[in-house]
Structure 1
Amino acid sequence: STDIPAARDAIAHLLALPGGGIAYAAADPGWGRITPEGTLAFAPRPPGADFRMTGLSLAATEEGTRLRVTLRPGEAPIVFDALAGRLEPGGDGAGFLAARTGSGRLPVVDWRNSNRPKLGQIPLRLGEGEYARSLAILLREDGFLLGTDTHLRLFDAAGRQADALAVPGAVWGVTVAGDVAVAALGDGTLRWYRFTGGVLVEQAALFIQAETRRWVLWTPEGLFDHAPNGGQDLVGVLLNRGRAQNTEWASFQQAYRALYAPRAVHQRIAGDQAPARERMAQLGEVRGRIGQLPVLTGATACAVVAEECLPLPWDARALPEGTTALRLGFTVTDRGLGLGPLDVLVNDRIAARAVPGESRVEVPLDPGPNRVVTRLYAEDRVLFADGPMLTLRRPGEPEPAPDSGRLLVLAIGVNHYANPELNLRFAVPDAEAVAELLRAGAGTIFRETRITLLRNAEATRRGVLDALARAAEEAGPGDTFILYIAGHGIRTEPDNRFLFLPQDTRDTSGWAALRAQGIDDSTLVAALARIRARDAVLLLDTCHAGQLTMEQLSALGNETGRFLLAASSSVQEALDSYDDRNGVFAYALREGLRGKAAMDAEGRVSALGLGEWVMRRVPQLAREKQHHQDAVFRTAQRDLRSFPIAQVAR
């Protein structure tokens, strides 16, 4: 016999395969396959935390909203702030409390890795084959929590079980903060529970991808928040229709506009259930709608080479030599939600958008490898269905060397509107300042810098769309494109879309009038789809009359695949500015581009470094002026690849 190192943990299920060999599920978690010859084809490679050796060190602050945890043995601890939605270095652990496992009043013994734990001499009943893995005595010593392979169990001071909640993985660590418990599970998640009145109720779950530090935080209803560098594709909603029917799956990325609700998630963890209830009431039956998403299947595909288009199978892995684009045809099936636009993304950024009803599209490709992803939206553009995907390489062609391409900047600022009631003070100075900062910081990064600045009457609806069209004609894959917009941005009702108001906005009497004059997010996404620059950043500095929220701005990053850095202030905040020259957002950009943001050894500020600086800095600057303002920094890239946008002279 031969031992096969198939998994790090117990193997829960074996399945014989028709062609020979075995597939297996393990508690690592993950699955693997053994070949008919008895060799290991592949083993589970869980991307998340491994709490088996680190879970007992889990600690929380007294309100339970900040956690300190070690994701894997040998790594440094990290801190997750659930209210700020932020990962931080672990520090020295001050202010964090780990579980208390010893108490003279509650002497729980024989519990560690045992199936016969006791309270003194009183046996604590577990299921057959169920082993205890963690323990936390409640703060008032009126009970304790016992984490096992399959349950989180709540016992009173007499050893009677008050409640038990099934969990998706062994509870390797648990700690308490007031009436909140936090558990570190074998599936790599951290989960919050409340145990008011002797009943355990799950509040939220957190999954951190160990290597990339991408994370996603969600409630049992499916509302979620995610890391600035992505994470919305890591978790989703599964509809189990029973034995006889296929399941339906939608990642949070597909349901972003419906379920992305950071404020509601944070408040749920803090103990306020109302925002989550209100959001779910507004959404209606989201799960049922996921089951009705349209279906997108590949019909025809060919590779554009010179004047020809060579047929390409959908399972192709290589491109014909000289391919510049793909022409793709699809079959679409409406299952009750209507049909919206069809998007094609190349290397995680939008590259083409077909209008509703159109099922053919030509997609320009990048030099080197191309990962092509397709999406079809429902008619209301709230949910999208994933379509076929192609991963294509160019045989014999090496990876393209990094090219010091051009920096193309389109900066838009509107102070003086056709309707004077909309006038602002600092949008134009902000656009001018950001454009000049980018010009000055281009340094040796770019071989050329081109700035287009639209001020006031130049920034009409037609003027903005024409400038975006010129950028699309000009930009190539090796270029970097930065779009800065300063002016009024609002959230439309009842469909909750982002709408930028250009300079020629006059009629503000109703939504129909505003939509006709404004540039909505769908129009903006379609314009950005035509800009071929491999690297791009969207900088949105909008003010509003109380309607716009971070959810609408973040959705633009999710749908374009571009780095999005945005802030939304009230009209009063916009009129106040920060230093009588620029608003808070532009001031934070100025600081970051001049060297306050993280730099590499050559003094280069990256898009990622700038985004992280501005996201932290905007709330601080706003508080100095007695205002409340947040910034959002988001990307939807699966494989995060930052890029330099400025160089600081040293």
Structure 2
Amino acid sequence: MRIESGMHIAPIVGAVTTADGMLLLTGSTDKSVRLWSLQDGKLIKTFAIPSEQGYDGRIDDVSISPDGQKIAVSSFGDGGRIYILDTASGAVTKSLGSFVSGPRIAFSPDGRYLAAGFIDKKGLQVWTTDFAGPPVVDADYSIINLAYDGSGSGRLATVAYDNQVRLYERDLTKPPRILKIPGDGDAARPVRLAFSPDGALLAFTYEKSNRISVIDVAQMQLKGQFDTALLKNGGVFDIEFSADGKNLFAAGSIMTTKQRYPLIRWDVAGLGKPVVLEGGAEEAVTGLVATATGGIAFVSAAGEIGLYGPDARIVFNKSSVRADMRMKTVNNFAVAQDGTGVWFGLKLGAKDPWRFDVEKLAFNAMPARPSDYILPITDTLDIKNWTQSQQPTLNGKPVEVFAGSRSLSIAPDARSFAIGTDLYLFRLDATGKRLWMTSGGCTVWGVNHSADGSLIITANDDGTIRWHRASDGVELLALFVHVPDKRWIAWTPSGYYAASPGGEDLIGWHINGKSWNDTPSFFPASLLREKFYRPDIVQLVLKTKDVAAAVIQANEAARRKEEETKLPAVVEIVSDPRGIETDRPELELTYRLHSPSGRAVTRLEMRIDGQLTQARAMQEVNEELELERDNRMSLLLPPRDAVVSLTAFIGDQPSAAASVPVKWTGAKLSGDKPKLYALLVGVSAYREPSLRLDYAAKDAIDVEAALRAQKGKFFGDVETVLLLDDKADEDNIEIELTRLSKKVGPNDYAFVFMAGHGVTDRRGSFHFLPANASLAEDELAAKSLSGLVIRDNLRTIQGKVLFFMDACNAGSGIAGGQALADMTGFANEFAQANGVVMYASSTGRQFSYEKAEWGNGAFTKALLATLEDKEAFGGDGRLSIFELAESLGTRVETMTEGLQTPVMTKSAAIPNFYLASMQ
């Protein structure tokens, strides 16, 4: 299982730009490689290399060829390898190694060579980039870093553990020129280096000081030092010249009074005084890269990326999306008595505090620590020096832990204690004897025990909370929160998960090929939802303290059998990652199909901006479309910028969508106003008396009136179908859904609104209850409308599709023991239904409320109020899907005092669009 947040969640250890300054490539210890647009900071593509649990697959460095067509990745995997990836397809085309470690790497500025520097007495190795023969080798010394001269000279410089700088000419068969740095030991050891753009200067930093020295390359001698008196508070981790050579930049763990890690700039002429640039990073800056356009990009230990323009002003700064788990000690990390709840700050220490409740699967802001939550015990044993990466002691003697101590929790009975370090979690008995250790590969900033000592809960540098069985350290559960929008997911090591709406794709399955030379695949959790979306298992696992036992109990209660895992297909669009430019309406796409399971791929589906736009967008796979090779498909484009997506199916099982942006360079056409087709369903008068509602039918009537008011404003025409009470049986609803799919064209809108009851059956499937619904367990499926039927009808509609579900829960008294409707699971089904934007009235197992004072359900009342509120439409007088979501959320939570939380879900391929206007 791998976290996939759309950002790095661990330190970025390598960063480089393409020669044109358009793309930034980054690699992180989180085992991912990412390609970004330097125009706006948007993520373009994520690459995967073979990896396993532990350190295998951790990235050590990255480089990209000047033309952007090849990527090199240095990895600590299988001992150490260099992977060459095709940027367009993401495929591994070459694997070099295995080595003893992952080296520092760099493509030459002309793209003809790839250089690698090794720390284990293997020195320098340089390949031609056709990799037709063995590398040129200069061995017997250990390289710390290397850099190419970008001026065209072909020079290559290395710095090494012998405190020497070596300068190689283009002809690598000649011995390098060598400069021995004056001084002794670590203080004279160079670690980072950078050529000036004209190749005349070579600047470098030192391992044990903040000095920055400059070498005159022609003379191969020290020229001077920059004034670094300002850099007393922290260390310099990287340096870089600006593209014009006028400035040198440095950054690292230097912190300002604003609790930021800034960039420092010097005027190179005269080795001038330092200037602090405003902004910077939330955590230490780990890399700097000059851009061809005159800017300077930076990356950080928190996985941030940012860019300053030539004027030294921030162009963009993408902050980390993971929770900041630093300082989760003493009063900043509390757990419920039984360990099933955790209170922690999303920011440093206890700042921005929230609580996650495993039993209720609820994540809520909570300014004060719950009174019954317990803090870590740190004083019932004589343990000292357990913070700030020190060597802890027990009764005055060193404790057998390593990698720098960060956190402590003594068990309630004081017979054992847990210590979190920079890489490990240790449990030791009261005498200091180690009972077990486990590694998550990152710093354990916080640790606590449940009241009975059976669970150990940790706060980790990757942004996760993890629950461990105290007896042996086995992990039972993990939680990750996407901080900007508070989406979350909780999962067991075997992959069973519960998630907030839109949160399930924060993790997925990394599947290696047959060897360390093969391209791996990544499958978001949503693609395997049918088997692994199991909130019931997540709620049980901390009680059973055994995943297998929780699975058995949950399956018995739901009358489910363990299902086989069937991997979906993989489709890749082979194109320039910058996107495609065209002025022609017909576009030919090159794509590749893969089937990790070996099953036949049966169907392809093409969408533009997430919506079907033509009848031939769905087609059966021709027998001639082979796996593992280039295939081609033609499609018609609208005269505008768009995102084109392909999805491959094995039967009804979809792949993850592969997408590419298309920039339209032809004439742009302004068409007529779109037409709206709406189906509105409202059921108040159920045949089953216990299900009767007061306002569901009225909700549908009122929404229809609001939509008709948009005729002549946003829509050229509005056509509605209203199904109320006894007319809203399952047959009529399904018939009208089918008719709707036939009416709606590529430029039209489909609007589906359903108000009534919803339930979730034993297997976790959602059902909308029509007027004739039966609550008998053996009749529910036959006399209800399956959520899957709704989804499959809506996802085949051309045009833009808006789906509103205002479903009150039918309650816990349903025959057969069906649970309250799980609206989160149902909403996440629609996040994968590529063309549908869904608005659900509530999340989780909340009720959707209606009151006489509102005259509607809360969700419908909020919708109607928004459509009448000029302020909600913004300055342009139009209402977007995101503006509607924000308004619904604010209004409904206010009306219900936080008891009901509506949510919008959609595919990432669907851009923001408008759905109403004031005039």
TM-score by length of 1: 0.71
- Aligned pairs for 1:321-336 (under 5 A) are 321=583, 323=585, 335=597
Residue type at the aligned position of 2:790? L
Distance of 1:112 and 1:93 partners within structure 2? 23
Instruction: Give yes or no for the alignment of 1:183 onto 2:458.
Output: yes
Match of 2:244 in 1: none
Higher strand share: 2
Check conservation: 1:168, 1:185, Cα contact below 8 A.
Answer: no
Structure 1 residues 512-544: Cα deviation after superposition (integer angstroms, max 9, x where no partner): x965x8654454334313434446233152666
Distance of 2:887 and 2:735 partners within structure 1? 28
Residue type at the aligned position of 2:697? V
Distance of 2:377 and 2:463 partners within structure 1? 23
Residue type at the aligned position of 2:73? A
Match of 2:386 in 1: 111
Distance of 1:619 and 1:270 partners within structure 2? 32
Match of 1:317 in 2: 579
Which shifted more, 88-97 or 352-361?
Answer: 352-361
Distance of 1:166 and 1:149 partners within structure 2? 10
Match of 2:908 in 1: 638
Match of 1:590 in 2: 861
Distance of 2:336 and 2:671 partners within structure 1? 49
Q: CA deviation at 1:146?
A: 0.6
Check conservation: 1:194, 1:203, Cα contact below 8 A.
Answer: yes
Distance of 1:599 and 1:271 partners within structure 2? 48
Structure 1 residues 484-524: Cα deviation after superposition (integer angstroms, max 9, x where no partner): 1245666678x76545566688999967x965x86544543
Match of 2:345 in 1: 69
Match of 2:114 in 1: none
Check conservation: 1:525, 1:559, Cα contact below 8 A.
Answer: no
SS of equivalent to 1:637:
coil
Distance of 2:373 and 2:440 partners within structure 1? 23
Residue type at the aligned position of 1:233? D
> Which of 609, 627, 631 matches 2:886?
609
Check conservation: 1:60, 1:96, Cα contact below 8 A.
Answer: no
SS of equivalent to 1:524:
helix
Distance of 1:459 and 1:528 partners within structure 2? 18
Distance of 2:883 and 2:585 partners within structure 1? 31
Unaligned runs of 5+ in 1: 302-311, 623-629
Match of 1:541 in 2: 807
Q: CA deviation at 1:475?
A: 5.0
Residue type at the aligned position of 1:158? T
SS of equivalent to 2:886:
helix
- Aligned pairs for 1:177-576 (under 5 A) are 177-178=450-451, 179=453, 180-195=455-470, 198-228=471-501, 230-239=502-511, 243=515, 249-268=522-541, 276-279=551-554, 289-290=565-566, 293-295=567-569, 297=571, 317-318=579-580, 320-321=582-583, 323=585, 335=597, 343-348=605-610, 358-359=620-621, 367-377=640-650, 379=651, 381=652, 384-386=654-656, 389-396=658-665, 408-414=677-683, 424=692, 426=694, 427-436=696-705, 450-456=719-725, 458-459=727-728, 463-465=732-734, 467-468=736-737, 471-472=740-741, 475=744, 481-487=750-756, 497-498=765-766, 500=768, 520-534=786-800, 536-541=802-807, 545=814, 546-547=817-818, 549-550=821-822, 553-561=826-834, 562-566=836-840
SS of equivalent to 2:506:
coil
Which shifted more, 202-211 or 637-646?
Answer: 637-646
Match of 1:120 in 2: 395
Which shifted more, 61-70 or 75-84?
Answer: 75-84
Q: Relative to structure 1, is the Cα distance of residues 330 and 353 closer, same or farther in structure 2, using a 3 angstrom cutoff? A: farther
Distance of 1:334 and 1:108 partners within structure 2? 51
Instruction: Give yes or no for the alignment of 1:170 onto 2:446.
Output: no
Distance of 1:470 and 1:18 partners within structure 2? 51
Q: Relative to structure 1, is the Cα distance of residues 85 and 433 closer, same or farther in structure 2, using a 3 angstrom cutoff? A: farther
Residue type at the aligned position of 2:655? A
Structure 1 residues 127-186: Cα deviation after superposition (integer angstroms, max 9, x where no partner): 5xx222222334454433210122211223332333322223121233445244432222
Match of 1:146 in 2: 419
SS of equivalent to 1:253:
helix
Q: Relative to structure 1, is the Cα distance of residues 503 and 53 closer, same or farther in structure 2, using a 3 angstrom cutoff? A: closer
Q: CA deviation at 1:412?
A: 1.2
Check conservation: 1:565, 1:633, Cα contact below 8 A.
Answer: yes
Distance of 1:72 and 1:32 partners within structure 2? 32
Distance of 1:284 and 1:188 partners within structure 2? 34
TM-score by length of 2: 0.53
Distance of 1:324 and 1:169 partners within structure 2? 49
Q: CA deviation at 1:462?
A: 6.3
Residue type at the aligned position of 1:223? Y
**Bigger radius of gyration among the two:** 2
Match of 2:73 in 1: 23
Q: Relative to structure 1, is the Cα distance of residues 610 and 534 closer, same or farther in structure 2, using a 3 angstrom cutoff? A: same
Residue type at the aligned position of 2:660? T
Distance of 2:598 and 2:562 partners within structure 1? 14
Distance of 1:325 and 1:536 partners within structure 2? 28
Distance of 1:140 and 1:151 partners within structure 2? 23
Structure 1 residues 211-244: Cα deviation after superposition (integer angstroms, max 9, x where no partner): 444332222231222333x232221123457747
Structure 1 residues 430-474: Cα deviation after superposition (integer angstroms, max 9, x where no partner): 422443466679997767655432235654666545544554466
Higher relative contact order (CA 8 A, sep 6+): 1
Q: CA deviation at 1:124?
A: 0.9
SS of equivalent to 1:392:
strand
Distance of 1:297 and 1:233 partners within structure 2? 18
Distance of 1:407 and 1:138 partners within structure 2? 63
Q: Relative to structure 1, is the Cα distance of residues 403 and 181 closer, same or farther in structure 2, using a 3 angstrom cutoff? A: farther
Distance of 2:60 and 2:607 partners within structure 1? 37
Q: Relative to structure 1, is the Cα distance of residues 208 and 396 closer, same or farther in structure 2, using a 3 angstrom cutoff? A: same
Task: Give the percent of matched residue pairs that are identical in Structure 1 and Structure 2.
Answer: 17
Unaligned runs of 5+ in 2: 1-12, 17-25, 31-57, 77-102, 110-146, 149-288, 291-296, 305-319, 623-632
Distance of 1:95 and 1:509 partners within structure 2? 42
Match of 2:430 in 1: 157
Residue type at the aligned position of 2:473? L
> Which of 21, 37, 59 matches 2:333?
59
Structure 1 residues 78-109: Cα deviation after superposition (integer angstroms, max 9, x where no partner): 41423455555563557597955752x42322
Q: CA deviation at 1:118?
A: 0.9
Which shifted more, 531-540 or 270-279?
Answer: 270-279
Distance of 1:171 and 1:137 partners within structure 2? 15
Q: Relative to structure 1, is the Cα distance of residues 324 and 232 closer, same or farther in structure 2, using a 3 angstrom cutoff? A: farther
Which shifted more, 346-355 or 147-156?
Answer: 346-355
Check conservation: 1:227, 1:634, Cα contact below 8 A.
Answer: no
Distance of 2:27 and 2:578 partners within structure 1? 35
